[in-house]
Chains A and B, each alone.
Chain A
Amino acid sequence: MAEDRFDAIIVGGGLAGIAAAYRLAQEGLEVLVVERGNTCGSKNMTGGRLYTHTLEKLIPDLLQRAPLERRIVKERFSLLTPSSGTTIEVDSAKLGGLYANSYSVLRAPFDRWLADEAEAAGVMFVCGVLVDDLIIRDGRVCGIIAGEEEMEADVVILAEGVNAQLAQKAGLREELQPDQVEVGAKEVLSLDQAVLEDRFHLAPGEGIAWIIRGEDAFGPGANGFLYTNKDTISLGVVTEIGKIPSAQHSMVELVDLLKEHPVVAPLIAGSKTVEYSAHLLPCGQGAILPRLCGDGVLLAGDAAGLAINLGYVVRGMDLAVESGLLCAETVLKCHETGDFSRDALSSYETAIQNSFIPRDMERCGSYAAQLGNKALYDDPAKLIDVLTAVMQG
């Protein structure tokens, strides 16, 4: 390898980017990940719940080694008014197949761990560097530009997240519009482990995923979520970004209103805020971008619009990992022939279409619609199925 030329450069050290890089390094490719945060995971945010099925393909003993918080065994769904609420709880032990394993995670430790694993497999990481632009010659992406520096590669994988500006420069995306993104704000609250397990009726290692349909209970159109970690609680709200300018409350106040709500307050009493974060997230239009690759370039994760967002359940991490892995498989094929044209890379688009991703994106949309079907409420078994699916995204 020449000093500043790589087989692949990945922009963004989140789950999609690390998964792609890790897989490529396993096959001996020279791979560089450029991450704008000072460490991988430092700019990322999740609610958050990780379905581990896709990462387990990459790391078979993931469940034994990864810094996972709690295995989700209970799903709780609440409908709130400003002063009251009703709650349904489902035991998710009945779930099987792809979604049998899901865990609460905190991105800062989790992504850092995954990056360390990838680095041990041979991936090179450059953190604290923002990629400003792409090297594009005759319509073909040939590398990246950061400040005064250029770095070239056979292929560039853009895993840069929801506000994918390089994907725009590559002509694969339009500029993000306010109605295409929501904003999530989250606090991590520390609570004694025994108290936490007692309050949520959890055995050690077990966790709860709780989604809260707020409507106007604590802010116009805002919904909430709560996930239990080892000795912390992740609690936050999601709202449409277009509603913020006219909103009565700031994001910070929305989180406070949720914390003060009579249904939530007793469960978090005595906890202390140890972390605060906010992030953009893609709205669930149920549509994958029409084009996921160009000459010398691929899109993965949020940058490719791969997320399921029902307004109260947002699921993207396992999709991001899957897309990263599929990117890697396509790059490995192209690496053999040396052809990184759009035609050659388009097998990635086919692979995405044949994966669980479009199926789940569609399925979740249809389940949400079924909740409006009155007949559903006469069939408890069916109702539980739909509710479980809706809660899980």
Chain B
Amino acid sequence: MNILVCYKIVPDEQDIVVKPDQTLSFDRAELKIGQYDLNAVEAGVQLVEAAGGAVTALTVGGAEVDNSKMKKSILSRGPGSNLAVKDDSLAGADSATTAKALAAAVKKAGEWDLILCGEGSSDLYSQQVGVQLGELLGVPTLNGVSAITPGDGCVTVERTLEDEVETLEVRLPAVLSVTADINVTRVPSMKEILGAGKKPSTILGSGDVELPAGRAVETTSLLAPAQAQRKCVLVEGDSDDKIAEFCRAIRTELQ
């Protein structure tokens, strides 16, 4: 089974600073691979370990996709090769633009059976790219996938819904977005990290793939929520009186 795993390089959220005017500063933020994308990578690597085949990591974006540390980071987690589309127009792209660029990149990725995405990007978390990519490619598409079992020309997947687990057989090729609890991602070992530098990585540009023109979404502002002043009222204990006091305080505030 040939698997493409989509990932996004994002700023590390712990380094993002909220400025006094509620805007965000990314100046001190290091790059990292989207947390949820790592679950997709792990799912792909596990499928190949079980059923054979190859995993290729796939990303689109601005200059960050050519970062050697990011290339090493993704390849140390199991994919055999990396394919990236780099263009300034893809830096900070919206979901539709990203999905279109990925669909264009997939055409350069050779034969594939399955495309895996995370449940959402670590920065925007629109949860849109996987489903839009499947639609653009015209193949069966599912999100919320919490288990994948390889079969013959198909995979059996589970989707954990509110009060039931749905089991579906999906014909390949297909695009699946996996949940964050589908697996526990592995920590790369020394040898995997050292080996990652030797794996092939291809960077394509606007001359190689047909990139989407324009954007579907225009971002007019990006602000952190205003900090609410907390009342700092503490009610300690679990007696009925205390619970009543707690409820009274909430009711008063809501009125």
Hey, which bits of chain A sit against chain B, CB under 8 A? 3-4, 32, 34, 39, 124, 126-129, 146-149, 151, 274
Query: Chain B residue with minimal CB distance to A119?
Result: B68
A151 CB contacts on chain B under 8 angstroms = 190-191
B194 CB contacts on chain A under 8 angstroms = 32, 124, 126
Least CB distance, B43 to chain A, in whole angstroms: 21
- Pick from B28, B30, B188, B190 the residue with the most CB of A within 10 Å: B190
10 of the cross-chain contacts (CB-CB < 8 Å) are A3-B191, A4-B191, A39-B30, A124-B194, A124-B197, A126-B193, A127-B193, A129-B190, A146-B189, A149-B190
For window 159-186 of B, CB contacts with A under 8 Å fall at: none
Least CB distance, A363 to chain B, in whole angstroms: 38
CB of B17 within 8 Å of the partner chain: yes
Cross-chain contact B193 with A129 (CB below 8 angstroms): yes
Hey, which bits of chain B sit against chain A, CB under 8 A? 17, 28, 30, 187-191, 193-194, 197
A128 CB contacts on chain B under 8 angstroms = 187-188, 193
Bound Cα distance A25, B188 (Å): 24
Least CB distance, A309 to chain B, in whole angstroms: 30
Least CB distance, B224 to chain A, in whole angstroms: 14
Cross-chain contact A274 with B17 (CB below 8 angstroms): yes
Bound Cα distance A34, B194 (Å): 11
Least CB distance, B144 to chain A, in whole angstroms: 30
B193 CB contacts on chain A under 8 angstroms = 126-129
A148 CB contacts on chain B under 8 angstroms = 189
Cross-chain contact B191 with A129 (CB below 8 angstroms): no
Bound Cα distance A148, B194 (Å): 16
Other-chain residue from A34, A39, A274 in contact with B190 (beta carbon distance below 8 A): A34
Least CB distance, A59 to chain B, in whole angstroms: 20
Other-chain residue from A124, A127, A147 in contact with B189 (beta carbon distance below 8 A): A147
Bound Cα distance A34, B188 (Å): 13
Least CB distance, B51 to chain A, in whole angstroms: 25
- Pick from A4, A129, A146, A148 the residue with the most CB of B within 10 Å: A129
Least CB distance, B197 to chain A, in whole angstroms: 8
Least CB distance, B61 to chain A, in whole angstroms: 21
Bound Cα distance A341, B194 (Å): 28
A126 CB contacts on chain B under 8 angstroms = 190, 193-194
Least CB distance, A126 to chain B, in whole angstroms: 5
Least CB distance, A191 to chain B, in whole angstroms: 13
Bound Cα distance A3, B194 (Å): 9
Least CB distance, A255 to chain B, in whole angstroms: 20
B191 CB contacts on chain A under 8 angstroms = 3-4, 149, 151
Q: A128-B193, A129-B189, A129-B190 are in contact. List 15 more A-B contacts (CB 8 A).
A: A4-B191, A32-B194, A34-B190, A39-B30, A124-B194, A126-B193, A127-B193, A128-B187, A129-B193, A146-B189, A149-B190, A149-B191, A151-B190, A151-B191, A274-B17
